[in-house]
Amino acid sequence: MSNVHRSISHVMVLLQRPGDGWILTVRHRAGSWHSPGLLTVVGGRLEDGEFLNEGASRELAEEVGIHVAPDRLRFCQLPHFHAADGERVIGAVFSVPGWDGTPYNREPDTHVELVWVDPAAPPPDCHPFTHAVLTHFAAGLLYGNVTAPELLGGEGR
């Protein structure tokens, strides 16, 4: 019997600030199990029965209080992540160039702040996968292979 490859689907949302196109990120708490102290884009795993755009819309509302109908999200990228622990994750990234309301931190137990970042020059405290998603978006890439830095001696690709 061959090994079964299990791939998990994630959804990510690039909420673009009007005017300069910078992307909203969330900073995780220092003691967080996921990305402690690092910036990530809004997103997460799909819930049972969700389509990709529905999950992205839900994550946007849950994390930063912005409600955008799933059919208003624009698909912009498909990254394939290879994590250091062997997990393989396929991500669907959607952009939101326009919305109503003001983003705010709806998950203060998980996130300490919201930070707008330039996708063409993400700050060094971005999670490596987030860094790749942002730079791929800025370059107009629709697909990217992203390997965890731990597997490449500190360098992602």
What's the pLDDT tens digit per position in 99-132?
999 999 999 999 999 999 999 999 999 998 999 9
Sheet strands (E) in the chain: 7-15, 23-28, 39-45, 74-82, 88-96, 111-117, 143-147
pTM exceeds 0.85 for this model: yes
Amino acid type, 31: G
What's the pLDDT tens digit per position in 56-89?
999 999 999 999 999 999 999 999 988 777 778 8
Topology of domain 7-151, per CATH? Answer: Nucleoside Triphosphate Pyrophosphohydrolase (3.90.79)
- Average per-residue pLDDT for the chain: 88
